[in-house]
Amino acid sequence: MNSPSDHFELFGLPRRFAVDLPALEKRYRDLQREVHPDRFSTAPVSEQRQSMEMATRVNEAYRTLKTPLLRVRYMLELEGGDVLAETNTAMPREFLMQQMGWREVLEEAAEARNAQRLDALDAQVGAELDATFADVEVALDARDGATSASLVRKLMFLDKLREEIGAAQERLEN
């Protein structure tokens, strides 16, 4: 009896970018009900160990499938694509300019403690993320590895920027 080989199989979901989130969540809970260590507290050590490994795997798979950026990276990996290929880190000039512009706004807004401006930037970057996800979905479903990989790199830039905006917002609050 073999274990499910990938996250999609583990959750009984088709390997597509568009994931049925309620179904994912339900499956996650059903699986944890079976394998979580709390179900094995009276069991022998060998079963407790198995339970911890499987529950860890289920958590990891859930996090990956639930988080869009992790999901696309994982899908690329399954296709044998390499997002971080060192020879392939060049980004379009236009995109880099836009990034630099946004980073300037972030620095200025953080400096000036301008919460409104931070919120506006957050919304702008969020919209760009959404648009890029839509593009990557098309590329992934068309099995266009090269385009997908380049879009995923763009997503990673945007995600990092959004994280930094979040950190700046948090600093402002405290």
Partner 1 sequence: MALLQISEPGESPAPHQRRLAIGIDLGTTNSLVATVRNSIAVVLNDADGHPLLPSIVRYLADGSVQVGFAAEAQQARDAKNTIVSAKRFMGRGLKDVPYPENSPYDFVDAPGMVQIRTVAGVKSPVEVSAEILRTLRVRAEAALGISHGAASGEDGAGELYGAVITVPAYFDDAQRQATKDAAKLAGLNVMRLLNEPTAAAIAYGLDNAAEGIYAVFDLGGGTFDVSILKLSRGVFEVMATGGDSALGGDDFDHRLFCWVLERAKLAPLSDEDTRLMLSRARQVKEDLTNHVEARFNARLSTREIVDVVVNQQDFWDMSQTLVAKTLAPTRRALRDAGLAVADVKGVVMVGGATRMPHVQRAVGELFGQVPLNNLDPDKVVALGAAMQANALAGNRSSEEDWLLLDVVPLSLGIETMGGLVEKVIPRNSTLPVSRAQEFTTFKDGQTAMAIHVVQGERELVSDCRSLARFELRGIPPMAAGAARIRVTYQVDADGLMSVAAREATTGIEASVAVKPSYGLSDGEITRMLRDSFEHARDDVHLRALREQQVEGSRMVESVRAALAQDGDLLDAEERAAIDAAISALEKSMAGTDHRGIKVAIERANRATDAFAARRMDRSVKSVLAGRNIATI
The answer to the question of residue 129 lying near partner 1 (CB under 8 A) is: no
Which CB, 51 or 148, lies closer to partner 1?
51
Enumerate residues 68-87 that contact partner 1 by CB under 8 A: none
Specify whether the CB–CB gap between 93 and 154 falls below 8 A: no
> Of the listed pieces 15-23, 37-45, 107-115, 122-130, which binds partner 1 according to CB under 8 A?
37-45
The answer to the question of residue 42 lying near partner 1 (CB under 8 A) is: yes
Contact with partner 1 (CB under 8 A): which of 19, 52, 83, 115? 52
Angstrom distance (rounded) from CA 10 to CA 157: 30
Which CB, 23 or 138, lies closer to partner 1?
23
Specify whether the CB–CB gap between 27 and 11 falls below 8 A: yes
Which CB, 29 or 143, lies closer to partner 1?
29
CB atoms within 10 A of CB 68: 18
**Nearest-approach distance from CB 130 to partner 1, in angstroms:** 15
**Nearest-approach distance from CB 170 to partner 1, in angstroms:** 7
**Nearest-approach distance from CB 140 to partner 1, in angstroms:** 24
Angstrom distance (rounded) from CA 78 to CA 6: 8
Angstrom distance (rounded) from CA 96 to CA 100: 6
> Of the listed pieces 40-48, 87-95, 103-111, 142-150, which binds partner 1 according to CB under 8 A?
40-48
The answer to the question of residue 104 lying near partner 1 (CB under 8 A) is: no
Sign of the CA dihedral running 112, 114, 120, 121:
positive
Q: Which amino acid is at 122?
A: D
The answer to the question of residue 64 lying near partner 1 (CB under 8 A) is: no
Q: How far is CA 154 from CA 17, 26, 64, 157, in A?
A: 17, 31, 18, 5
